[in-house]
Amino acid sequence: MSQPTLIRDNSGFTLVEVLVAVVILAVGMFGVLQSINVSLQYNLKNELRNEGIRVGEKYMADLRGKTFDKLSTSYAPLNEQGKIRSGTKTFVVERASQVLAYDGTQPSTKQLTVTVKWSYRNMSTLNRVVSVVAKP
């Protein structure tokens, strides 16, 4: 009668296999973290743009609410604090009025311009709102 042969069960992972798996997972996680970082940056950039648009529209509404004769040709620049997430960001607002047409010697049409400027990550951005108003 022959003796049964012993079968050695060497199943499992070696240390090298575990290290290779950890390296592969780490590379994958770095990619995921980088994509999250990029998406957060674009999200903040879009929030800044939306706030800049809101500020520009606010000051354009103020200008359009004035009577035609009270529109000045130049205004001093303003600093507006916009709320972004849990902080604030400074927006520089420049307003101008330019005569487009005359009715005899009196201005009859003016162009109103509101320019809102801000910077993010050492890059300057602006939003310009333009409207034309006529003397009633």
Please state the domain count of the chain: 1
Please check whether residue 4 lies inside any domain of the structure. no
What is the DSSP secondary-structure string of the chain?
-PPPPPPP---S--HHHHHHHHHHHHHHHHHHHHHHHHHHHHHHHHHHHHHHHHHHHHHHHHHHTS-GGG--SB---EEEEEEETTEEEEEEEEEEEEEEEEETTEEEEEEEEEEEEEEETTEEEEEEEEEEEE--
The pLDDT assigned to 74 comes to 82
The pLDDT assigned to 136 comes to 84
Q: Tens digit of pLDDT per residue, the chain (136 long)?
A: 666 666 666 677 788 889 999 999 999 999 999 999 999 999 999 999 999 999 999 999 999 999 998 888 889 999 999 988 889 999 999 999 999 999 988 999 999 999 999 999 999 999 999 999 998 8
Please check whether residue 10 lies inside any domain of the structure. no
Please check whether residue 97 lies inside any domain of the structure. yes
Domain housing 57: 15-134
Please check whether residue 55 lies inside any domain of the structure. yes
The pLDDT assigned to 5 comes to 66
Please check whether residue 39 lies inside any domain of the structure. yes
Please check whether residue 6 lies inside any domain of the structure. no
Prediction pTM value: 0.77
Please check whether residue 106 lies inside any domain of the structure. yes
Please check whether residue 2 lies inside any domain of the structure. no
The pLDDT assigned to 12 comes to 73
The pLDDT assigned to 8 comes to 66
